[in-house]
Amino acid sequence: MGKTAPVENNDPSAFYEEVKRLHLRPLWLQEAHAPHKLAVPHLWKWPQLRGQMMRAAEVVSTENVERRVLGLMNPGLESSGRFATTPNLVAAIQMIMPGETALAHHHTPAALRIIIEGEGAYTCTDGERLWMEPGDLILTPAWSYHDHKNEGKGPMIWLDGLDVPLIQAMDTFFFELYPGKRTQPATQADEASLSRFAAPGMRPANFTWQKNYSPLTKYSWKKTMQALDDLKEPDPYDGLRLEYFNPHTGGPVMPTIGCYAQKLRAGARTKSHRHSSAAIYHVFRGSGYSVVEGQRFDWSERDIFVVPGWHRHEHANLSAGEDAILISYTDEPLLKALGIHREEPQE
């Protein structure tokens, strides 16, 4: 029963022809109801990512293209033509060279930046300049204007995380250039939001905020590192793991994307589990490996890898003396808000 072929009293072919013509489709001809798991686990090595990025700098300049970005295409989703690393999220490497500007725009996809290399560049979000250093997490939420400028001496490279595949699937992609200018004016003091949220559980008296994303737009690595060092209670599946969150409401940093920093102590190996949310990991420090549905991925500093939804996974730090640190982002807040997040330990 169930999905087996129906008993067909008479030849139904004329019926099937006709309903097709009327834009009707019999549900009983549908395939099984389970995740297709077309997305596959994959790892991109940093030397190759960086190398191609440098070549891209020869091929195009930010004078000619809005963004110099290489998207990390999930091999399993590539044939569908979607710009996707997981069904809901995309990862990409972006670079701006000294003196370059990535011009100001906004769009309905939400975006975050995990800084990998460089100094002396900033992202300007809604009039607030945020200076970028490796390990920083910077938010440019849905529909907030943002531009990037490199005033330093070397290339500035970061990992972009966006919910483009989700927004594309919903066909709600809207985009606008900042009116009349390549860069938006700084209407706030530099890093103003960091001066408002400078200690845990402290904010300006009478602070008001109506938006559905974090009023703290940069989480500096220096504070994240300290918080990771302070954290004492490891999770069996993820080691010492912190969530970046909206300090004004307790919600996720943005409605669709959750961000995490985790430390795997020297020699640590986690238990295996799976969940319906997918994760993209950046190896901020150290080396080790992850096993995803039986396949081992060895990672080193600055590599990027993806664990698609409902794939069993575990992590290991091979080093005897060095901690490993992973910064990651997922669609967990989205699935939880919809009430359909599932999680399962490996038996």
Task: Enumerate residues 13-72 that contact a copy of itself by CB under 8 A.
Answer: 15, 18-19, 22-28, 30, 32-39, 42, 44, 48-49, 52, 55-56, 58-61, 63-72
User: CB 320 → a copy of itself: shortest distance, Å?
Assistant: 25
Tokens of 31: 């395939």
- Which residue, 250 or 321, is less far from a copy of itself as judged by CB? 250
215 to 244: interface string for a copy of itself, x by CB under 8 A: -x--x---xx-xx--xxxx-x--x--xxxx
User: CB 276 → a copy of itself: shortest distance, Å?
Assistant: 5
Tell me if 315 sits within 8 A of 239, measured CB to CB.
yes
Identity of residue 19? V
Tell me if 242 sits within 8 A of 261, measured CB to CB.
yes
Count, residues near a copy of itself per rule CB under 8 A? 136
Q: Mark the segment that binds a copy of itself (CB under 8 A) among 81-89, 124-132, 290-298, 312-320.
A: 81-89
- Which residue, 55 or 153, is less far from a copy of itself as judged by CB? 55
Q: How far apart are CA 50 and CA 185, in angstroms?
A: 31
Judged by DSSP in three states, 164 sits in helix
Identity of residue 120? G
Buried b (16+ CB within 10 A) or exposed e, 279-296: bbbbbbbbebbbbbeeee
> Which burial class, exposed, middle or buried, applies to 49 when counting CB atoms under 10 A from its CB (0-12, 13-18, 19+)?
buried
Chain positions 141 to 160 lying near a copy of itself, rule: CB under 8 A, are 141-143
- Which residue, 29 or 154, is less far from a copy of itself as judged by CB? 29
Q: Is 107 in the site for a copy of itself (CB under 8 A)?
A: yes
Chain positions 260 to 319 lying near a copy of itself, rule: CB under 8 A, are 260-262, 276, 308-309
